[in-house]
Amino acid sequence: MTDEELLEDIGERMLIERVKMRFGVERRFERMINAGAGEDDCAIIDFSTLIENICGCGGGCESKMIVTTDMLLRSSHFPDGITPFQIGWSAVAVNLSDVAAMGARPLMMTIAMGFPARTRISFFDEVLEGIRVCADNFGTIVIGGDMVRSNELTFAGTCIGFTVMKPLRRSGAAVGDIVCVTGTLGNAALGMYIVSGRLSSEQLKEIDDIAEYAKKALFQPYPRVNEGVLIASSGYATSMIDISDGL
């Protein structure tokens, strides 16, 4: 088999094996997750052990489970110039960002993927690597998912997070609150202007030193997981929201 072969050239079983090579349950999580990606029809999660590992209380605290789902389509969410690795990264990052916006830590996720039959194996593998690296960077375990043949590249991720604090909701905002943001606003928008050809040659020269940074902000967004948990634990914030769709 070569990387230039297409998904339609190999069977579903071989594709699943390629997924399992990347997403086996780490030894430190084996007590919590008894069956992970590709091992059975469903993942099996021991919640009592999971909660004990989160807060060390033996399951006696008031832990909250936070769940989110995000769907991404090639035509709507992935601009020209994005790499397969960045596509996989983004499919995970959007879910982690939502969980972080509630002040929770994303612990596990499932991801369903639809690929056109004539997708190259090398493209498929790079997407998987982007998914793996993003999840690993934030301590999130990919515990399962699904794959189908699709006319358009499609992802639907579901992330499960946990917090031992009161989740921060949008409804907590009140008149007179100070609005704060993490990071720098406008980088991804600038990246979109660059890749869509909306800037003149003179404008491109002016931003040459930050062009790659702006494009990375667009192609490979960085979920503010640690910041979200820290803000929630501070006790100062009344509400939080993910602004990946704009302020």
Tokens 């609150």 map to which residue? Answer: 177
Question: For residue 221, is it within any domain?
Answer: no
Does the pLDDT value for residue 168 go beyond 80? yes
Tokens 């780490």 map to which residue? Answer: 26
Kindly report, residue by residue over 25-61, the tens digit of the pLDDT: 555 455 555 555 566 777 777 777 766 666 555 555 6
pLDDT for 17:
84
Record the tokens describing residue 21, joined without a space: 């090579």
Q: Find how far residue 143's CA is from the centre of its chain.
A: 13
Query: 23 or 25: which carries more pLDDT confidence?
Result: 23
Kindly report, residue by residue over 131-160, the tens digit of the pLDDT: 999 999 999 989 888 999 999 999 999 999
Question: For residue 173, is it within any domain?
Answer: no
Report percent pLDDT > 70 for the chain: 86
DSSP code string of 169-221: -GGG--TTPPP--SS-TTHHHHHHHHHTT-S-HHHHHHTGGGHHHHHHHHHS-
pLDDT for 58:
54
Number of independent structural domains in the chain: 1
Question: For residue 71, is it within any domain?
Answer: yes
Question: For residue 178, is it within any domain?
Answer: no
pLDDT for 60:
55
CATH code of the domain covering residue 50: 3.30.1330.10
CB atoms within 10 A of CB 62: 10
Q: Provide the domain limits for residue 86.
A: 7-165
Question: For residue 25, is it within any domain?
Answer: yes
Does the pLDDT value for residue 90 go beyond 90? yes
Length of the chain: 247
Question: For residue 47, is it within any domain?
Answer: yes
Question: For residue 200, is it within any domain?
Answer: no
CA–CA separation, 203 and 211 (whole Å): 11
Question: For residue 182, is it within any domain?
Answer: no
CA–CA separation, 99 and 68 (whole Å): 7
Please tell me the pTM assigned to this model. Answer: 0.88
